[in-house]
Structure 1
């Protein structure tokens, strides 16, 4: 009996020691960290974004008829003058249509003259004469249509400006009305537009008429007043972001189309996001950054966040922390994804 009791006590002791050893080993692998609770923040009431300059007068130039492009005489970024030839279709098919229409008119004229002579001799009826006249009118209208299309088989610049985008090249088939070139007009009266992309959350709080400040690298140290003039009603199918246009007052300065700039928009509604200590941010590349987060205070994972702005003490996070409770403030250099942690005060 004593032997059995001794064995039981020894077994319990061994299990207890083993459990303590495992716990000790587990704690020895844990990385000591400090945590901060993640809370919502609406104090960040500006939106920082970047974009490109263009003018309000933008034309998407195309051929009225379809055909094979013979040549495109302008390249992207090239300044063009009003009336300058920019592109042309191959003329063989168009010339054949024009000749065919001209021959149809000549035939209709002969038919009408024959019907008129027969009508005078009381051989042809009035209806036959009227039908011949109608056929002549139709042939003449067809010739006018072909001549009009022939004139629009070439694209000329409607104004002085810059070729923003070249969409088709020589040898490609252009459909009727399909844009070949996009041109922005440039003049002393041009209204300058700053185009940027916003997330759906930012788009929702921005309204037309909101004020903004725009800076351009070409004019260091200068700030230009701007106002939100247009919001896109559909997302870009590639990026998923929403385009927003700002009308910028450059005063006496003369910017160029395509210049890069940055804008600070003051929305009329508060922007909801998250505020975390500056020390919690691992790395940042533009608007993207990374932090270590946890929910159970035992294991961490690396999360990608979108940065709204940074000041001396805090980082304002636009998105990426919605499903987490805590962020690691110190101890991050020793962590990996799924690292075990021990929380220190």
Structure 2
């Protein structure tokens, strides 16, 4: 009998333990704006940076500009050997003038019916060919020199005197000074979707330690680079320092105009996670635990940003989660 009473007492204790509410700490879900800064690094370049070249082939006669030199618009940078081109131009001009005189004489004879139509048309064709050859010779002569397209700086020089150069072969890399400086960088797909043209940014240059320069986003590529799968983005410096060099390393902090609505939770609130999917415990009106599926946006300094699955005002368990049982009541502790 005594043993039976002891067994009943033990079972009563076990039952009490089973029904005892688990102590937990909770927070009330609050929807906030995602204020994360987009950080990336890139290179500083002049927006008008361009390659200058000769339009014709030939031997380089003279190179007047050097790398780093500042020049004025129209200033001569380099020229090819013009002797042969000038001779061809004179020859083409003389032939054109002779052809024009012959045609003028034929036109006068035609009015008097003193020349056959075949001879007239032949002289007319000869004049057209001579004029075309003269235009080609004049084009070659005019484009056998390279002049500065504007006030700017020669960034790089890739030719030397006496070199043979092909049409379109780069001779100088040039930048027009008043076209502005930009930082070119690549953004990941998620960051590219958050950033918009016109968003403000701060730029820090290794060459100017401790200083930040204002900038804004002026261009975002609509297609990812097939090599690195990033989206090319340009930031324009609003008030650049007086002396800059193309190729300087720039570190950028962009403040996105688009801010997603999220619920921030301590990392301990996350019961499980698989990629962007997760689970948390939420409480109903009777403080009973319910398993809730959520979508995880990102992790940031020990916190989880939930983008879907939680509404403002919901109670979320963030401490004591391993001991919670579904549909069982919990005790909220402070």
TM-score by length of 2: 0.55
Distance apart, 1:133 and its partner CA: 3.8
The structure 2 residue matched to 1:46, chosen from 29, 37, 56, is 37
In structure 1, distance between residues paired with 2:220 and 2:81: 40
In structure 1, distance between residues paired with 2:195 and 2:187: 10
In structure 1, distance between residues paired with 2:255 and 2:164: 45
Distance apart, 1:230 and its partner CA: 1.1
**Contact in 2 for aligned 1:65/1:175 (Cα 8 Å):** yes
Partner in structure 1 of residue 198 of structure 2: 209
Distance apart, 1:234 and its partner CA: 5.4
In structure 2, distance between residues paired with 1:232 and 1:179: 26
TM-score by length of 1: 0.54
**Contact in 1 for aligned 2:34/2:259 (Cα 8 Å):** no
In structure 2, distance between residues paired with 1:216 and 1:150: 44
Partner in structure 2 of residue 150 of structure 1: 141
The higher radius of gyration belongs to 2
The structure 2 residue matched to 1:250, chosen from 232, 239, 258, is 239
Counterpart secondary structure, 1:111: helix
Cα 1:100–1:201, aligned 2, differ >3 Å: closer, same or farther?
farther
Partner in structure 1 of residue 56 of structure 2: 65
Counterpart secondary structure, 1:112: helix
The structure 2 residue matched to 1:186, chosen from 169, 177, 189, is 177
In structure 1, distance between residues paired with 2:144 and 2:242: 35
**Contact in 1 for aligned 2:35/2:259 (Cα 8 Å):** no
In structure 2, distance between residues paired with 1:124 and 1:235: 68
In structure 2, distance between residues paired with 1:229 and 1:153: 37
In structure 1, distance between residues paired with 2:113 and 2:34: 95
Deviation per residue, 1:110-142 (Å, 9 max, x gap): 532553565476431356435524532442343
In structure 2, distance between residues paired with 1:237 and 1:154: 38
In structure 2, distance between residues paired with 1:70 and 1:235: 44
Matched ranges for 1:95-244 at <5 A: 95-112=86-103, 115-116=106-107, 118-119=109-110, 122-125=113-116, 128-129=119-120, 131-166=122-157, 171-176=163-168, 178-187=169-178, 190-233=179-222, 241-244=230-233
Deviation per residue, 1:152-195 (Å, 9 max, x gap): 1111002221223445555253234x5432311114xx433222
Deviation per residue, 1:242-283 (Å, 9 max, x gap): 4321012117x424232443211133366xxxxxx9xxxxxx
In structure 2, distance between residues paired with 1:92 and 1:239: 49
**Contact in 1 for aligned 2:57/2:164 (Cα 8 Å):** no
Query: Which ranges in structure 2 are unaligned for 5 or more consecutive residues?
Result: 1-32, 261-266, 268-299, 303-334
Distance apart, 1:241 and its partner CA: 4.8
In structure 1, distance between residues paired with 2:60 and 2:221: 32
In structure 2, distance between residues paired with 1:99 and 1:82: 29
In structure 2, distance between residues paired with 1:160 and 1:107: 43
**Contact in 2 for aligned 1:198/1:241 (Cα 8 Å):** yes
Partner in structure 2 of residue 327 of structure 1: none
Counterpart secondary structure, 2:43: strand
